[in-house]
Amino acid sequence: MVREKETTLYLGPQHPGITGNMMVKLKVQGDTVVSASTHVGYLHRAFEKLIERRNWIQAFTLLCRFCVPEPDPMELTYARAVEDLDNREVPERAKYIRVIVMELARMQSFMLWYAGQAGSAGLYMIPQWSVGDRNYILDLFEDLTGGRIYHMYIWPGGVRRDIPEGWADKTLRTMDYIEKRLDEYNKVLFDNTIFQKRAQGVGIVPKDKAIEWGVVGPVLRGTGIKSDVRIDEPYEVYDKIDFDIPTQEGGDIWARALVRKEEIRQSIRIIRQAITHMPGGAYYNKVSNPMKWTVPAGQAWARTESVRGEIGFHVTSDGGNKPYRVHVKGAAYTHGVTVLEKILPGQNIADVSFILNSLGVCPPEIER
Amino acid sequence: MTDLVKENKLLDAVSQAFKIKGKVIRNRRVEVYADKNMVSSILLFAKKQLGYIHMAHMTCVDWIDQGEFELVYTIYSPIEKITLFVKTRIDRENPEMENIDSIWDQANTYEREMREMFGIEFPGLVGEHDFILEDWDQIPPMRKEFDTHKYSAETFFSRPGREDAKEVRDELSKRSGTIVPDFAKKYSRE
Amino acid sequence: MENDKNSQKIVDYIQNFSRKHSLFVLAYGTGCGAIEIPATMTSRYDAERFGIRGAATPRQADVLLITGYLSTKTLKRVIRVYEQMQEPKYVIGFGSCTINGGMYYDSYNTINGLDQYLPVDVYINGCMPRPESVISGFVKLQELIQDGKANNGEKYRENLEHYRTNQKKIIKNWKMPDYNW
């Protein structure tokens, strides 16, 4: 009889199967994980200390780099918190443009998730397709803001510049193209027996403990609880636009993948409505001298829904021209440390990377 | 201002049960000010009796002029859809606060980070000391007296030309002999 | 080219030709810049027509792509990975954070220039560099290899004392194996 002893494995910083630069220390017995612990800190840049040395407007250059796959919700949440402190109104046209930018960011981040999830199951054709199609959305961003990844486009008071001519038609054409491609993605991933057998029954998050563990976003909607910041606390013009929030029962990887699949179709619906109903008018409520702008004292808390879950910003001001304290909470803060350590015991080693991709763990959000 | 019925009801329920003060800031935002010994009872009361089951955030603000740390606990109710802030102040020289990770498991991560970044002690906190930094031998870095620019300039080698961040527009105009126009001078840092 | 060559020169030419057309990049996303690497390797910007593809472990890789800033915790692992790679090996510094610290110049946790700790062949600037810039950086590396100027593995081995002094100033708890091969 062979006695299996416990070994320590480091799913370390250099590994083709982890999402980013973090380490998961596993204790395994044979092929099964006994316990896990997360080690972060490889990407720590001390953002919150650096923001205290910059103006209210200069902090924008730092904020987008918080979360690398999807930078736009960070800018929007900061802008909303500062507008809350300053009592600044945003024009209607700017609100519609902000909604379009957020939904486009959601779509391109979904395609990156799609590539990672399929790649960790061993299906390598799907990343080639979805990352290739993601370039069309990044082309739209480049026409609008000048950069592919980091935009720095949403300011407190509105947006930086108006949409160029012909951009709205190009967006609608891109949406038609992507809608056709989503049907083809279904055929290769969701109707694929390999993916179904690997994803069903793996990585279950229980429904009665989900909110207590701090689970947010599509992971929470995959357990059957309907919760989304866009309908709980509507911001910008989400209360005037018609869309659904899909939920699934089960709490395993298959349920979360189905939730994300439906959300992208709703995003396309939102963008089409926003482009048809966008009014004319101003796009920026101008701050008179951005470099010497002071914000009244107080504390504000703002939340938005990104593709991974809820993002919250706690901004403190003491009446000066620099932020006194900015503290950011990303969705991965609870998913990557608390939830991961609770659901990994009992799983197979080969499924660890699969579960990491499905929870949407993005290490820069954990350690900023 | 629209009627803030639910927010006022919440404020009355909490402030009468614990005899503390609070304020309704705006629609969906209520805050209460508590002593540091009562925080865990207020959080437990809000979680079990009033339905505030989602812990959204916990943060710490360093008020160096007043000699205090301010801790803010943010909790949220998915049914009422209101966010409640519980604020407390602790001493800055010997900071110590109660450990609440028996109420919510995720508070463990927040408290480990605060122990490392601000130096606050949470008796009974289980978890490795090095969460984000490795082999750190200076004072806790998020305190206001830590000068990060000085530390970076002394420890890491920099390329020449980076030491003095001069105003780029003025330097270029000096080198090429042109004058900076008046409308450009309006947006200056001084 | 056909008049004055001895056998040594043909061998060098063929060796450099085959090395430059098969560069294996280590799969290690050290910083922000790793978000443009999947875009470079897939269908629109297709780096595989240059012979560039990914490798899973340091023993099988030729090129170490430092994508962005390096914190002190990652620097220790990067040095260990670099010393595990076998010669000939090349380092590409990606983004302006490797050149002079970038926008994190006053952070207490990021280094301000990669050159002092590891020998670098090519720098690609930008924040974030486009996939076309990445490919042009690789093309420049290919030209250096063809001319015989990219032998920084030897330079690291010969100047080991200089690099070690710089590295030990930053990394305080030095528990790493010796580099003696």
pLDDT in tens, B29-69: 999 999 988 898 999 998 998 889 999 999 999 998 999 99
CA distance A206 to chain B (A): 15
Give the one of C112, C171, C173 whose C-beta lies nearest to B156's C-beta: C112
Question: Measured at the alpha carbon of residue A347, what is the angle toward residues A346 and A353, in degrees to the nearest 5?
Answer: 145
Distance between CA atoms of A141 and A171, rounded to whole angstroms? 10
The CATH number assigned to the domain holding B115 equals 3.30.460.80
Compare CB distances from B148 to C106, C113, C171 and report the shortest one's residue: C106
Please state the length of chain A.
368
B185 in any annotated domain: no
Report the domain count for chain C.
Answer: 1
Domains of chain A: 47-367 (1.10.645.10)
Average pLDDT over all residues of chain A: 90
Statement: residue B121 has pLDDT above 80: yes
Of C74, C81, C127, the CB nearest to A21: C74
Tell me if B88 is assigned to some domain: yes
Q: Please report residues of A whose CB lies closer than 8 A to that of C77.
A: 12-14, 42
Q: Is the pLDDT of residue C1 over 50?
A: no
Asked if B149's CB is within 8 angstroms of C72's CB, the reply is no
CA–CA gap between residue A269 and residue B39 (Å, rounded): 45
Strand, coil or helix: what is B47?
Answer: helix
Asked if A304 and A73 count as a contact pair (C-beta separation under 8 A), the reply is yes
Q: Do B106 and A334 touch (CB under 8 A)?
A: yes
Q: Estimate to the nearest angstrom the gap between the alpha carbon of B103 and the chain centroid.
A: 21
| DSSP track, A47-94 | HHHHHTTS-TTTHHHHHGGGSSS--HHHHHHHHHHHHHHHT----HHH
Q: Is C99 on the interface with B (CB under 8 A)?
A: yes
Percent of chain A with pLDDT over 90: 46
Model confidence over A308-322: pLDDT tens digits?
A: 999 999 999 998 888
In a domain, C178, yes or no: no
What is the ipTM metric for this complex?
0.90
Domain-located, residue C132? yes
Segment (H or E) for A341:
helix A340-343
How many Å lie between the alpha carbon of B26 and the closest alpha carbon of chain C? Answer: 37
Residue A280 pLDDT level (bands cut at 50, 70, 90): confident
Mark B61-87 as b/e (b = at least 16 C-beta within 10 Å). Answer: bbbeeeebbbbbbbbbbeebebbbbbb
- The CATH number covering residue C166 comes to 3.40.50.12280
| Number of domains observed in the structure of chain B | 1
Q: What is the pLDDT of residues C63-105, one digit of tens each?
A: 999 998 999 889 999 999 999 998 889 999 988 888 888 888 8
pLDDT higher than 70, residue B168? no
Given a cut of 80, whether residue B186 has pLDDT beyond it is: no
Which of chain A's residues have a Cβ under 8 Å away from the Cβ of B132?
A: 40-41, 44, 367
Residue A97 is predicted with a pLDDT of 93
Range of the domain at B152: 5-180
Q: Do B186 and A290 touch (CB under 8 A)?
A: no
* Chain B: closest CA distance from residue A40 (Å): 6
Instruction: Note whether A87 contacts B: Cβ–Cβ < 8 A.
Output: no
Residue C92 is part of which domain span? 25-170
**Whole-number pLDDT of residue B190:** 45
Predicted local confidence at residue B165, as pLDDT = 59
CB C137 within 8 A of CB C108: no
Q: In one letter, which amino acid is C179?
A: Y
Cβ within 8 Å of B, A 53-72: 53
Question: Who contacts A115 (Cβ-Cβ below 8 Å, separation ≥6)?
Answer: A126, A127, A130, A131, C38
The shortest C-alpha distance from C170 to chain B (Å) reads 7
| Global confidence as pTM | 0.90
- The DSSP code for A339 is I
pLDDT value at B157 more than 50: yes
Q: Answer for the pair A62, A51: CB distance below 8 angstroms, yes or no.
A: yes
Instruction: Give B1's pLDDT tier (boundaries 50, 70, 90).
Output: very low
How many C-beta neighbours within 10 Å does residue B109 have? 22
Residue with tokens 């298959």: A254
Tokens representing A213 are 């563990």
How would you classify residue B132: left for phi > 0, otherwise alpha for psi between -120 and 50, otherwise beta? Answer: alpha
**What pLDDT was estimated at residue C27?**
86
Tell me the mean pLDDT in the region B5-34.
87
Note the pLDDT tens digit of each residue in A151-180. Answer: 889 988 889 889 899 999 999 999 999 999
pLDDT tier at B128, thresholds 50, 70, 90: confident
Are C106 and A128 an interchain contact pair (Cβ–Cβ within 8 Å)?
A: no
B136: distance to nearest CA of chain C, Å? 9
From the list A234, A260, A232, the residue with the least C-alpha distance to A246 is A260
Q: Please check whether residue A45 touches B, CB under 8 A.
A: no
Q: Is B188 within a domain?
A: no
Rounded Cα gap, residues A60 and A54, in angstroms: 9
* Mean pLDDT for the stretch of residues B167-183: 73
C110 touches chain A (CB under 8 A): yes
Which tens digits make up the pLDDT trace of A359-368? 988 898 888 8
Q: Which residues of B touch C108 (CB under 8 A)?
A: 141, 146, 148, 151-152, 155
Residue type, B102: S
For tokens 């002999």, what's the residue? B177
From chain A, the residues in CB contact with C56 under 8 A are 16
Looking at the partner chain, which of C100, C113, C170 has a beta carbon nearest the beta carbon of B155? C170
Which letter does DSSP use for residue C58 in this model? G
| Joined tokens for residue B172 | 């270029």
pLDDT digits (tens, 9 = 90+) for A30-52: 889 999 999 998 999 889 999 99
Q: Which residues contact A303 (CB under 8 A, 6 or more apart)?
A: A77, A229, A233, A310, A311, A312, A313, B56
Check CB contact of A327 with chain C, cutoff 8 Å. no
Is there a domain that residue B189 lies in?
Answer: no
CA dihedral over A261, A262, A268, A271, signed as positive or negative: negative
Q: Give dist(CA B149, CA C110) in Å, integer.
A: 12
The rounded distance, in Å, linking the Cα atoms of C32 and A284 is 30
* Residue C88 preceded by cis peptide, ω within 30: yes
Best residue of C106, C163, C168 to probe chain B, by most B CBs closer than 10 Å: C106
pLDDT tens digit sequence for A194-224: 899 999 989 899 999 888 888 999 999 999 9
Beta strand ranges found along A133-249 (DSSP E): 154-155, 158-159
- CA atoms in the 13 A half-sphere facing the CB of B46: 34
Q: What does the pLDDT read at residue A28?
A: 92
Helix A253-276 to helix A167-185 angle (10° resolution) is 160
pLDDT at A259: 92
Mean pLDDT, range B152-159, rounded to an integer? 81
Which residues of chain C are within 8 Å of residue A148 when distances are taken between CB atoms? 36, 128, 130
Which strand (E) or helix (H) includes residue A116?
A: helix A92-121
Say whether residue A337 is in contact with chain B using an 8 A CB cutoff.
yes
Percentage, residues of chain B above pLDDT 90: 22
| Residue A277 C-alpha, separation from nearest chain B C-alpha, in angstroms | 27
Span B108-113, mean pLDDT? 91
Q: Is B134 touching A (CB cutoff 8 A)?
A: yes
